[in-house]
Amino acid sequence: MAKKKEKVNIPQNKQPYTEGCDFCMQFDYDDIHVIGASKDENGIIELIIKAYQDAGVTFVCPNTGKKLRIFARPLSDAGKAILEEPQTA
């Protein structure tokens, strides 16, 4: 069975990096760390974190030891406020 080609969600009026790009992360305003690269505009980095206990990822800066955590947790008042915000197009 042929794999269905997914449509990439690119914001309107944004120019792709046709000559390639670095995918980066940054802790606060510290040095930028390149975590991936693409030779052309078809590069994608995708991070999916499901709504499960202990689901997440931690990045550690090799120079400073600072940690960047992205994780799921039970819904809080802050999360409820986000869900109650009007949806924009």
Residues 6+ apart with CB under 8 A from 46: none
This prediction has a pTM of 0.56
C-alpha 45/C-alpha 22 separation (Å) is 10
Q: What is the pLDDT of residue 25?
A: 80
**pLDDT tens-digit map of 28-48:** 788 888 888 888 888 888 888
Q: Which residues pair with 23 in a beta bridge?
A: 36
**pLDDT tens-digit map of 60-81:** 888 888 888 898 888 889 888 8
